[in-house]
Structure 1
Amino acid sequence: MEAKEVEETRIESDLIGTREIPASALYGVQTLRGIENFPISKFHLNEYPLFINGLAITKMAAAMANHELELLTKEQKEAIVTACQEILDGKHHEQFPIDMIQGGAGTTTNMNANEVIANRALEIMGHQRGEYQYCSPNDHVNCAQSTNDAYPTAIHIGMYYSHLRFLPHLQALIDAFHQKGKEFAHIIKMGRTQLEDAVPMTLGQTFNGFASILEDEIRHLNEAAEDFLTVNMGATAIGTGICAEPGYAEKCVAALGKITQLPFRLSKDLVGATSDTSCLVGYASALKRVAVKLNKICNDLRLLASGPRCGLGEFNLPAMQPGSSIMPGKVNPVIPEVMNQICYKVIGNELCVTMSGEAAQMELNAMEPVMAQCCFESVDLMINGLDTLRTRCVEGITANAEHCKTYVHNSIGIVTALNPVIGYKNSTKIAKEALETGKSVYDLVLEHDILSKEELDTILSPENMLHPVKLDIHPKK
């Protein structure tokens, strides 16, 4: 039996003691302790690249500001900036293996970034990993910083980029609904309130309605995301700026703007800002609004496509997979169903964010790690769900036009559309007779010679269902 090759290690120490670190690891002893202390979930930092990028941008800006204040040498600054740029280019992300959910208000995440950047900077400078006398995770990469300003700033940056990534996927679904609105604009159907027949409309209006209620949310999302551009860099531990030099905060935030080309601004009150996580609460709430509306839309898709013989059957969802292990021929609305579940998860994440936001104590909110995890996860879930709903459901929907028309002609509800023309007395008479005999309102109006078929079809034409109209039609009776 071959002997297992022993991996080389290096020794690092911290407040607790010394540990062996894999020689191949860019991270150090504090990251290792975080790996050991928080085997909590399957949500690891290396699965959230925009958060890692936020950490790299934060550390890059800090290095630029500290060099300007002569706290870092040119060599140290350039090595740190180069290491951060490599991370932004997608390198070294596997060196961030820690759990997103952790105690310590994000210290493990901050130190993971500090250690990876310091060790890579050491290599760039021609030194060995762990030779921290030349570039230290704490003294140089974390210079003039605390977890309590660097960590939330990185979250803000990562979440703002997540927001920018999210919007095109939402817009693509909106466009797909609008496209179906145009395609189905000529198809008359029955509108329903409280699951009961209401008044006629077009199938196109149904799909344009789906698009419009989602479109309204883009403004709310943008407003919520705007708060991420305000950061507390320079606050250090509690907002007093201890361990930072005068002017550092302003120089660091200016560097953030230079790196990202985004209008980052410094919080007006760093003490208040350091314990305030309301921007995460606000964005989670904005995502919840989208989830609530998507849930309604998916429920409608399932109801209106129900059947194929014993449901509403106004349109057909694409058949994606067999629906039963026992019922031959059954096909389920699996795509709207999975979107429903995503919506429930996003709504649940919002509750977690809200409760965690309320848990701030004194000058810090130690629950920020789970808030960040929930927000990043919700965006990822929504993006995957939106694309799946669009490509595997909405774009393939086909209408059952004649079936929709039959519903209208057989509905008592069309008497409401006729009421302005034939009058309340005639409408009541027709509705009552339709209920008693089972005949359709459409047929009874013709049978009683109240309107001609041409006049009746004009009133119920799709173009007259789109908006209020004045028709020059007069009943015979």
Structure 2
Amino acid sequence: MSFRIDKDSLGEVKVPTSAYYGPFASRAKKMYKVTGQSAHVNLVRAFVMIKRSAALANKELGALDAGKADAIVKACDEILKGKLLDQFVVEAINSGAGTAFNMNTNEVIANRALEIMGKKKGQYDIVSPNDHVNMSQSSNDTFPTAMHVAILANMVETDAAVTILVRSLRKKAREFQSAIKIGRTHLMDAIPVTLGAEFEEYAYSIERAQKRMREAMDELREVGLGGTAVGTGANTPKGYRKLAIKHLSEVSKLDLRPSPNMFYSLQSKHDVANCSSALRNLAIELTKMANDLRLMASGPTAGFAEVLIPAVHAGSSIMPGKVNPSLAECLNMVCFNVIGNDVSVAMAAQAGQFELNVMLPGMLKCVLDSTDMLKNFLPIFSAHMIDGLKANRERLESYIEKSPVLVTLLNPYIGYLKAAEIYKESLKTNKSIRELVLEKKLMTKAQLDKALSKSSILGS
């Protein structure tokens, strides 16, 4: 392998001749061996869009030479089309405030811009990673802005995935609206409900969580680009902030707007933490649903067996014919990770000092990991679990007929204490409520039929 000698403020560094990254990224690549994971592609895209927008704004304001600005913009456009992505070598968790990743981006763009201008990589006196690509910027305002852009890009896909799940649940709710089943409280038999009502509740609760996600997304549209080092906007030409964010909003298609308080945008990570907590709350609702489905599907002979689940693969390597709720189990694990990631985000959000929160890369990785899992898996879960569920109506009806809890519906006729006696006797003798009430002549058959009718059970 051949090398070139690049120079930065710390001195000379050997860099592979073919590399578009430079001395800062070369050092960082050695120092930050943490996760083994490259930076998320949406973070790369977000940063490149910021550099593009800054170059355009600086050019329009006369701060950056047009030739250099055009080369930078062209280099950015190439990366946004998928080129040079392997040159972003700094890991997902890197230096505090993400300076290493910012400089990795600056170096890749600078070296490609140099080639576009007919120059050689490393000729930073012509196009500098710091003076030109990073003009009017700091890691302190670009990384928080890139966080918002990258998270929003992932959240848009996550929101679409949640919508798919809600639609699947509502479809099942309609399909199961006439399937009466035993309700359960404290895991014990309770007044009957319909399977459809349970699925409608899942859809409703997840839709409520989705609403909070969307509210969190709107807050993320406020960005601190232009605040530079501490939020003062030092070293930016007049009008830069508004113009740069305008260009960023256009290229990202995310309807971004300047933060009302630039110091807040650099110091506080409330907006990111709020988004993470919205994802956590969604995960809590999803976990509850997944747990219910696993219980409903348990059996087929020694469990509830209220629903029949589609087989996505063999359930056991030793027990032939076994079908497991594997996708619900996978959803549980996704949700546990989302909840754990939110704890990390909360710890990072409170760990800032004075004018800057420096825990940004770790925080961002957690939110992007959470959204990646949700946007990738929820459509699979919807299509291969929810859409394929069937109600085991015969089993559901047998539970209704045998359950002593039906005596609750007789309270208006025979009173609570007498109903409690019948309940206990039913459990002891294994006789049905209907059988005991008629045997003791507590009600007529007509009265009993009316009290235990479908309309009475469903309260309609």
TM range (shorter): over 0.9
Partners in 2 of 1:292 and 1:273 — Cα distance?
29
Percentage of matched positions with identical amino acids: 39
CA 1:417–1:80: 2 relative to 1, 3 Å: farther
Choose which of 97, 106, 113 in structure 2 pairs with 1:121. Answer: 113
CA distance in 1, matches of 2:356, 2:269: 9
3-state secondary structure, aligned to 1:383: helix
Query: How does the TM-score come out when normalised to structure 2?
Result: 0.94
Q: Structure 1 pair 308/126, CA: closer, same or farther in 2 (3 Å)? A: same
- Alignment pair present for 1:12 and 2:6: yes
SS in 1 for 2:387: helix
Distance 1:17 1:465, change over 3 A: farther
Tell me whether 1:31 sits opposite 2:30 in the alignment. no
Q: Is the 8 A contact 1:228 1:279 kept in 2?
A: yes
The answer for the alignment partner of 2:63 in structure 1 is 71
Q: Mark the CA change 1:84 to 1:442 in structure 2 (over 3 Å): closer, same or farther.
A: farther
Distance 1:444 1:384, change over 3 A: farther
**Residues 385 and 457 of structure 1: is their aligned pair in 2 closer, same or farther, counting only changes over 3 Å?**
farther
Match of 2:383 in 1: 391
Aligned to 1:227: 219
Letter in 1 for 2:449: L
Q: Name the CA shift for 1:92/1:315 in 2 (closer, same or farther; >3 Å).
A: same
Whether 1:342 aligns to 2:334 is yes
Compared CA separation, residues 266 and 296, structure 1 to 2 (3 A): same
Residue 301 of structure 1: how far off its partner (Å): 0.8
**1:322 is matched with which residue?**
314
- Secondary structure of 1:201's match? strand
Which of 36, 41, 50 is matched with 2:35 structurally? 41
* Alpha-carbon contact 1:35-1:97 (below 8 Å) kept: yes
1:291 aligns with 2:283: yes
For the residue of structure 2 that corresponds to 1:377, the secondary structure is: helix
TM, length-normalised to structure 1 = 0.91
Distance 1:360 1:334 in 2: 40
Per-residue deviation, 1:285: 0.3
- CA displacement at 1:75 relative to structure 2: 1.7
**Distance change (3 Å), C-alpha of 1:337 and 1:262:** closer
**CA distance change for structure 1 residues 290 and 307 in 2, over 3 Å: closer, same or farther?**
same
Task: Say which of 374, 390, 397 aligns to 1:405.
Answer: 397
Q: Which residue of structure 2 lines up, in the alignment, with residue 81 of structure 1?
A: 73
The answer as to whether partners of 2:407 and 2:423 remain within 8 angstroms in 1 is: yes
Aligned AA (1:12): D
Amino acid at match of 1:32: S
After TM superposition, list the pairs within 5 Å mapping 1:11-410 onto structure 2. 11-45=5-39, 48-410=40-402
Flag the 1:458–1:138 CA change in 2: closer, same or farther, 3 A: same
Decide whether the 8 Å contact of 1:14 with 1:30 is kept in 2. yes
Deviations 1:296-337 (A, max 9, x none): 111111111101110111011222333334444433222111
Q: Distance in 2 between matches of 1:117 and 1:451?
A: 86
**Whole-Å Cα distance in 1 between the matches of residues 217 and 229 of structure 2?**
25
Q: CA deviation at 1:418?
A: 3.9
Note the C-alpha offset of 1:208.
1.5
Give per-residue Cα distances to partners, 1:161-214, cap 9 Å, x unaligned: 111111111111111111111111121100100100011111111211211110
Q: What's the secondary structure of 2:404's corresponding residue?
A: coil
Contact 1:410 1:442 in 2 (8 A): no
Paired amino acid for 1:165: E
Select between 419-428 and 147-156 the one with higher mean Cα deviation. Answer: 419-428
Structure 1 residue 426: Cα displacement: 5.6
Instruction: Work out the number of aligned pairs and report it.
Output: 459
Q: How far, CA to CA, are the matches of 1:330 and 1:35 in structure 2? A: 48
The 10-residue stretch of structure 1 (164-173 or 321-330) with the greater mean CA deviation from structure 2: 321-330
Could you say what secondary structure the match of 2:153 adopts?
A: helix
Paired letter, 2:60 = E
SS of match in other structure, 2:200: helix
| 1:353-400 deviation digits (Å, cap 9, x = unpaired) | 000111001211111110000000000011223123222221211221
Contact 1:202–1:465 at 8 Å: present in 2 too? Answer: no
- 2:295 alignment partner AA: L
- Please report how far the alpha carbon of residue 231 of structure 1 lies from its aligned counterpart in structure 2 after TM superposition: 1.0
The CA distance in 2 between the partners of 1:321 and 1:191, in whole Å, is 30
Query: Is 424-433 or 68-77 further displaced after alignment?
Result: 424-433
Q: Secondary structure at the match of 1:20?
A: strand
Q: Cα gap change, 1:204/1:194 in structure 2, threshold over 3 Å: closer, same or farther?
A: same
SS in 1 for 2:313: coil
State the alpha-carbon separation in 2 of the partners of residues 256 and 305 from structure 1: 49
Give CA deviations for 1:93-133 in whole Å, capped at 9, x if unaligned.
22212211112320011011111111222222222222222
Which whole-Å CA distance do the structure 1 matches of 2:308 and 2:418 have between them? 37
Summarize the Cα distance change of 1:451–1:163 in structure 2 as closer, same or farther, 3 Å threshold: farther
Measured after TM superposition, the shift of residue 465 of structure 1 is: 5.0
Native 8 Å contact 2:170 2:203 kept in 1: yes
**Residues 451, 108 of structure 1: alpha-carbon distance in 2 compared, 3 angstrom cutoff:** farther
For 2:372 and 2:201, the matched residues in 1 are separated by 25
CA contact (8 A) 1:200 1:417 kept: no
Q: Which runs of 5+ in 2 are unaligned?
A: none
Partner Cα distance (1:233, 1:444) in 2: 75
